[in-house]
């Protein structure tokens, strides 16, 4: 942390260096458990709660944190692509459109949820509901309860309890912690014009429990591997305790939701963590391309893969040696598991942040033959585009809502 100014003076223009915020480590960091579900790679989970446009996504790697709601400790997955915090309420009704065998009881794959009433009371003026594009949905009601994360308590926090859902989990989590802006809480509800409210992180900084910043470090390997550098953290108010390459710090402005043309919003209001990288670099054995095409991307911990336009992704597939191929039925590209992986990086704040080869070609997700491994980047015909877990594992990402900017530094290889 201390060497940041020295390092910057070597690498970044003085004006940029002068304005780069100097982050401090926070004692309020919370370890997260990484979970990779064993669902077949063909099972696509399409999340789109806050995304009107088409988004095919894979959701088989996620990060779990224990939060305390009232006095109940409940595991939830974290998401920077939505803003609500919801928990399933016991007993809840799980519905399904399809059944593994006739008469089977639907299983939503949610863990034990919240029991009993919310101590701050219910909100009775409007319902909670979010629909996802693959047909999954959560519905229930809002109320107030204290929410504690890593020793910090957001008092009288608005949360949602879900009592009617179709969900496809694998039993590790009982809800979601949405870390995006308040604006998103007023969208997409069952009733038009739902009042927006402050999500957990917003409450915490407005109550001055923390500086208006959080950061994440995501491990590439499951948390059963004990080494510290492999751990994942959510750090509230500062930096997590992982080593980064200090000279790589770079920043990018967080854009308003009007930056995603496909969404058709006119407001410049901040909603999600949208940045506009300066370019993309592919360096394969046979081809090296650098494109300066600029388009907005979401920084989304809730997305396993990164999702980019065909103009970027097709040359990337071609740069694998042998090239990646489309495997029908999966909707995704795979390359031979022993293929040579090209270098692929995104330019942010004058620096290139590369994907790790392990994330570009994931050895643990294979096709039926077992010889082809999944490429960590997928294409989509229109935005929003996403930098997901397959990129975030290589950096520490700082979400600074006070300065409206994201900062990144490369993690020391682990």
Which residues does the annotation mark as catalytic? Answer: 79, 300
Binder among 261, 371, 404, 412 for ligand NAG (CB under 6 A): 371
Binder among 164, 197, 295, 414 for ligand NAG (CB under 6 A): 164
Rounded to the nearest 5°, which phi and psi values hold at 50? -115, 20
We find the least distance from the C-beta atom of residue 243 to ligand NAG, in angstroms, to be 33
Binder among 382, 402, 404, 412 for ligand NAG (CB under 6 A): 382
186 near ligand NAG (CB under 6 A):
no
The counts of H helices and E strands in the chain are 6, 27
Asked if 146 and 206 count as a contact pair (C-beta separation under 8 A), the reply is no
CB atoms within 10 A of CB 268: 10
We find the least distance from the C-beta atom of residue 47 to ligand NAG, in angstroms, to be 14
Binder among 336, 357, 403, 414 for ligand NAG (CB under 6 A): 336
Q: Which two three-digit tokens encode residue 221?
A: 């390997």
Q: Which of residues 266-295 bind ligand NAG (CB under 6 A)?
A: 286-287, 289
Distance between CA atoms of residues 45 and 60, nearest Å = 8
Which residue is associated with the tokens 């975030």?
392
User: What number of chain residues touch ligand NAG (CB under 6 A)?
Assistant: 21
- Taking residues 24 to 63 in sequence order and writing x for each that binds ligand NAG by CB under 6 A, - otherwise, the string is ------------------------------x---------
Asked if 353 and 277 count as a contact pair (C-beta separation under 8 A), the reply is no
We find the least distance from the C-beta atom of residue 205 to ligand NAG, in angstroms, to be 26
Q: Which two three-digit tokens encode residue 226?
A: 């004990």
- In the 3-class helix/strand/coil scheme, how is 130-198 assigned residue by residue? EECCCCCEEEEEEEEEEEEECCEEEEEEEEEEEEEEECCCCCCCCEEEECCCHHHHHCCCCCCCCCCCC
Residues sharing a CB contact under 8 Å with residue 112, sequence separation 6 or more, in sequence order: 74, 90, 174
Cβ proximity to ligand NAG: between 171 and 261 the closer is 261
Q: Which of 217, 130, 239 is nearest to 178 (CA)?
A: 130
DSSP helix/strand/coil, 202: helix
Cβ proximity to ligand NAG: between 128 and 399 the closer is 128
Cβ proximity to ligand NAG: between 20 and 313 the closer is 313
Cβ proximity to ligand NAG: between 108 and 406 the closer is 108
Distance between CA atoms of residues 289 and 284, nearest Å = 9
Q: Which of residues 106-135 bind ligand NAG (CB under 6 A)?
A: 117, 119, 121-122
153 near ligand NAG (CB under 6 A):
no
Angle at 299 between CA 294 and CA 302, to 5 degrees: 140
381 near ligand NAG (CB under 6 A):
yes
We find the least distance from the C-beta atom of residue 2 to ligand NAG, in angstroms, to be 42
Cβ proximity to ligand NAG: between 328 and 381 the closer is 381
User: Any bridge partners for residue 175, and if so which?
Assistant: 87
DSSP letter string over 215-273?
A: EEE--SS-TTS--GGG-EEEEESSB-S--B-GGG-EEEEPPPGGG-GGG--------S-
404 near ligand NAG (CB under 6 A):
no
We find the least distance from the C-beta atom of residue 193 to ligand NAG, in angstroms, to be 20
70 near ligand NAG (CB under 6 A):
yes
Q: Which of residues 297-326 bind ligand NAG (CB under 6 A)?
A: 315
- Taking residues 72 to 101 in sequence order and writing x for each that binds ligand NAG by CB under 6 A, - otherwise, the string is ---------------------x--------
Cβ proximity to ligand NAG: between 289 and 403 the closer is 289
240 burial class (0-12, 13-18, 19+ CB within 10 angstroms)? Answer: buried
Sites of contact with ligand NAG (CB under 6 A): 54, 70-71, 93, 117, 119, 121-122, 140-141, 163-164, 286-287, 289, 315, 336, 338, 371, 381-382
């Amino acid at each position: 942390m201390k060497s940041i100014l020295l390092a910057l003076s070597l690498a970044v223009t003085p004006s940029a260096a002068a304005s780069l915020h100097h982050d401090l480590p926070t004692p309020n960091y919370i370890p997260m458990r990484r979970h990779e579900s064993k669902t077949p790679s063909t099972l696509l989970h399409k999340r789109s709660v806050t995304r009107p446009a088409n988004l095919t996504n894979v959701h088989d790697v996620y990060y779990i944190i224990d939060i305390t709601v009232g006095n109940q400790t409940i595991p939830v997955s974290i998401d920077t692509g939505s803003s609500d915090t919801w928990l399933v309420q016991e007993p809840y009704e799980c519905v399904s459109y399809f059944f593994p065998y006739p008469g089977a009881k639907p299983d939503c794959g949610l863990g034990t949820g919240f029991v009993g009433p919310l101590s701050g009371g219910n909100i009775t003026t409007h319902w909670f509901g979010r629909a996802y594009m693959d047909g999954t949905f959560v519905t229930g009601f809002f109320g107030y309860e204290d929410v504690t994360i890593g020793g910090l308590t957001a008092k009288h926090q608005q949360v949602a309890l879900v009592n009617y859902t179709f969900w496809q989990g694998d039993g590790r989590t009982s809800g979601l912690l949405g870390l995006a802006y308040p604006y998103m809480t007023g969208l997409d509800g069952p009733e038009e014009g739902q009042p927006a409210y402050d999500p957990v992180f917003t409450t915490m900084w407005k109550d001055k429990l923390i500086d208006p910043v959080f950061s994440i470090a995501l491990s590439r390997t499951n948390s059963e591997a004990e080494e510290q550098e492999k751990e994942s953290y959510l750090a509230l108010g500062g930096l997590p305790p992982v080593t980064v390459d200090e000279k790589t710090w770079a920043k990018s402005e967080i854009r308003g939701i009007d930056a995603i043309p496909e969404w058709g919003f006119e407001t410049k209001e901040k909603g999600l963590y949208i940045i506009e990288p300066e370019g993309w670099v592919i360096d394969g054995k046979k081809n090296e391309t650098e494109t300066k095409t600029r388009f907005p991307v979401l920084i989304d911990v809730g997305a396993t893969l990164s999702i980019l336009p065909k103009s970027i992704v097709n040359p990337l597939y071609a740069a694998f040696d042998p090239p990646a191929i489309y495997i029908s039925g999966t909707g995704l590209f795979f390359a031979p598991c022993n293929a040579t992986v090209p270098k692929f990086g995104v330019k942010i704040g004058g620096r290139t942040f590369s994907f790790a080869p392990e994330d570009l070609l994931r050895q643990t997700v294979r096709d039926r033959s077992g010889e082809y491994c999944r490429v960590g980047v997928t294409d989509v015909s229109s935005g929003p585009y996403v930098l997901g877990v397959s990129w975030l594992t290589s950096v520490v990402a700082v979400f600074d809502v006070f300065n409206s900017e994201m900062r990144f530094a490369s993690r020391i290889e682990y």
